[in-house]
Amino acid sequence: MGHLTRKHRDKLYLAAGVLAIWWSFSAIFNGTSITEFARLQRHMNSKIISSQTTSISSFDWSGVSFRYPPGSLTPLPTGNPSQTLPAVQKRFSSEGSPALKLRERRRREVRDTFVGDWGAYKKYAWMKDALKPLSMGYQDQFSGWAATLVDSLDTLWIMGLREEFDEAVDAVSEIDFGKSSSGRVNTFETNIRYLGGLMAAYDLSKRDVLLTKAVELGNLLYGAFNTENRMPVDFIDFEAAKTGDGLIVEGSVVSASPGTISLEFTRLSQLTGDPKYYDAISHVMDVFYEGQNKTQLPGLWPTMVSMSRKDVVSGNQFTLAGCADSLYEYLPKAYALLGGHERRYEIMSIGFMEAAKNLFFRPMIPGGEDILMPSSGSVDEDGNVYLDEETEHLACFLGGIYALGGKLFSNKEYVDIGSKLTLGCVYGYQSFPTGMMPERVNMVACDNLHTCEWDQKRFDKEKRKRPEYKEHLPLGFTTAKDPRYILRPETIESVFVMYRITGNQMWQDIGWKMFTAVSKGTETELGTHAAVEDVTRADIPLPQSDYMESFWLAETLKYFYLLFSPPDVISLDDYVLNTEAHPFLRS
């Protein structure tokens, strides 16, 4: 049967309903088993769903003959089938009626916000990468394969928007991965948004068409490894990749780029039974594993690495935020996805979480709150670490990762650190008059992580060293170098994880204040939501940018929704979420 649109499926469901009525009457008058009728109806429905086939892309990426083939393949690791990882989520007790009603009201408001923005995307930017929420136009910056649509698939499913999900799957089945709006395909973004989105939606819905498209795209991305040393390129030359002649690895890339493929390629091998994807990233992680304790800050990798030289140890600049963030995020998550059967992910996770403590600081703030902020820094020849005392919103994922690692590795200290890091980023939201945290801020580091009293003279001295200081900044902040809020999810991500791990309702209340501020502060005159150019002032209206990142629907609103959902909805004991919040089923 050819491709079925939602309209055609509706007709078939109507026919199935008519058949159901006829069969039930036949069962009554002819003694046919009602059980047989139910079986036949389920069969009809499954046929309707499974008959939704895909339009094959115009180029067969699986047919490319590589100049640099992989050789023998590393299989997925296996272990003792009886081995089980520690539980991650708190055992929740039943809710009382008032708490249930409050939680459901909050969840509905998040869902309504998503529905409004999805409707705008559908009307003005359908099958395009991103909506421009002020002009109601669109933008293609991720190869033109409908990034927002693919990124939002699992959110549609999780929120119970089945009709919208079916319509989106119909559209996905028509995407042509043989063509691109750009000559160069970004390996990192394509992997986390597109491949991650397709596989997560398949894990949730079991729609075969989604796995088919994931395999097509996975084979395209697999071409990134057709290089002399089998390390991936940062950008795939689209037309050159089709020839199979081989690609040239860039001399220097941010460490997050090659380090953020492990989850997606592991899951693709798990789903398909084809080890080639896992084999490809396994060799990349070999390089990181072997170099982890040889860097100038052992346990962490420098911000920039060279995959062409397989050099992940040179360099004295280190960060936990943008350029490196998801490299660290994926270590404990890969350990969980593989059921704990690949121990090097445990070793790398603990190594990073111990070393990262060198880049945390307790900020000097008027109230003396016991919080931590993640920073970046440099290391001199003697091994001394110098912090820049700067926090990026992108680093706010760390609270959730420490809490997750603390549960996986039975380390309560990590959970406590995760709480303090999350509260640090929450402080960044609560301190500014808009209730939103800027992209980048600086504060004054206390002399230690345990005690710290406010020192006005020291603060005045430190702020004068910062040319970006503005008098209107809240007390305790010496800069807001990038004052934007671009609909980012990292803080609510950590708040969600902390709630699921601790069960403390405090985190839901924190999250609700964040949602109220964010939804109000980013709302446009047309009812959509847009990035804000400066959240350090309470000007009305706030200055906005004509852009809505796909992660607003894929991550930010999903995490808000999950925070107010029953804890069995995407349980952290059942799923691992990639860096774009796409849930992969833990096998």
> Could you say which of 203, 325, 389, 555 is catalytic?
325
**Tokens 């902390």 — which residue?**
498
The SS3 of residue 365 is coil
> Could you say which of 189, 311, 388, 574 is catalytic?
189
> Could you say which of 439, 462, 523, 549 is catalytic?
439
146, 554 contact by CB (below 8 A): no
| Dihedral Cα 355, 405, 372, 295, nearest 10 deg | 20
CB atoms within 10 A of CB 43: 11
Is 354 annotated in the active site? no
- CA dist 249 and 574 (Å) reads 36
Is 439 annotated in the active site? yes
Helix residue ranges per DSSP H, 260-410: 262-272, 276-291, 325-337, 343-355, 398-408
What is the amino acid identity at position 194?
Answer: Y
581, 489 contact by CB (below 8 A): yes
Contacts 24+ apart (CB under 8 A), 517-525: 517/429, 517/434, 517/435, 517/436, 518/435, 518/436, 518/485, 518/487, 518/556, 519/109, 519/113, 521/434, 521/435, 521/436, 521/485, 522/436, 522/485, 522/487, 524/133, 524/134
**Tokens 């927002």 — which residue?**
148
**Tokens 């346990």 — which residue?**
299
- Structure-token pair, residue 372: 């931590």
Q: How far is CA 392 from CA 124, 126, 325, 567, in A?
A: 32, 32, 10, 29
Closest to 397 measured CA to CA, from 579, 548, 563, 267: 579
* Torsion over CA: 547, 303, 298, 360 (sign): negative
Is 189 annotated in the active site? yes
Catalytic residues: 189, 325, 439, 490
